[in-house]
Chains A and B, each alone.
Chain A
Amino acid sequence: MQKERPLSPHLQVYKPQMTTMLSILHRSTGVFLAMGTPLLVLWLCAIASGAEGYAHMQSCFSHWFVQLILLGWTYALFYHLCNGIRHLFWDAGRGFELQTLYTSGKIVLLMSVVLTGLTWFLAVSRMGGGA
């Protein structure tokens, strides 16, 4: 057994770079989003279960901690979506030049923040207006 060998890509000796961080973030947001799918299905279940189940679910969703996780999921979704498009360009063999890599990475970061902010701005303003 070779248990003690470090695994490639030797994270402990590499200097952290923006491209590395974006790649790691793509994976972690993916796993985080997958962990959200049971909650989404539970929400559909609650709508199907009747008024009481739905009201219970709504009150759970209004808790500040759940709201915080929902904010995290919104960001994770937009980041994974934008960076996923970046990945699809790579699959087509485009965008591998070093300068392009950094520019597309910065666009992804900017877009994910803008879209998350826009979504929550609209959601909060609807909540205030509708109630």
Chain B
Amino acid sequence: MSLRSPLSKATGLGSAKHGFSHWWWQRVTAVALIPLSLWFVYSLVCLVSADYQHAVMWLSSPINATLMLLFVLTALFHGQTGVQVVIEDYIHTKWLNLSLLLLIKFASVALAVLATISVLKVVLGG
């Protein structure tokens, strides 16, 4: 016998009213990634036999650094929203589901910071 009221049991279940925002940002980042990923593949093809000096020179150009950061950060965000849906769909053990969701959020933020610092270091000539 629980002393919880039926209303308190139902509260918090069902739509959290944030579904649209998740869906929308997945699409916004998808659209942004169309030109960004084409630029990224083109750049990698150009850099395929580049030595260290060439790679640093390429990445220290403000345009390339900006596009690279836009690509990496958008890809990380888009990937995180996508993997989140996959976890929500297939992992039904509550503690594992929550742990994985936290893990991919922490990992993508950590990677975003690392990428930003790396690119800035090259641009600022550290």
Contact = CB atoms under 8 A, between A and B. Distances in A.
A48 B121 contact: yes
Interface string A98-129: 00000000000000000000010011001100
Contacts of B45: 119, 122-123, 126
A34 B34 CA distance: 16
A33 B30 CA distance: 13
A88 B31 contact: yes
B48 interface: yes
Nearest to B41: A119
B95 interface: no
Interface of B is mostly: helix
B52 A51 contact: yes
A91 interface: yes
B118 A41 contact: yes
A33 B86 CA distance: 13
Contacts of B46: 126
Interface residues of A, number: 32
Contacts of A33: 75, 79
A11 interface: no
Interface of A is mostly: helix
Contacts of A38: 107, 111
B83 A34 contact: yes
A71 to B, nearest CB: 13
A6 interface: no
Given A40-B72, A84-B30, A119-B41, A47 B59 contact: yes
Interface in A19-73: 27, 30-31, 33-34, 37-38, 40-41, 44-45, 47-48, 50-51, 54-55
20 contacts: A30-B86, A31-B83, A33-B79, A34-B80, A41-B72, A44-B68, A44-B114, A45-B114, A45-B115, A48-B117, A48-B121, A48-B122, A48-B126, A77-B37, A81-B37, A88-B30, A123-B44, A126-B46, A126-B48, A130-B49
Given A48-B126, A119-B45, A127-B48, 15 more contacts: A30-B83, A30-B86, A31-B83, A31-B86, A34-B82, A37-B111, A40-B72, A41-B115, A44-B115, A47-B52, A48-B121, A77-B37, A81-B34, A81-B37, A127-B49
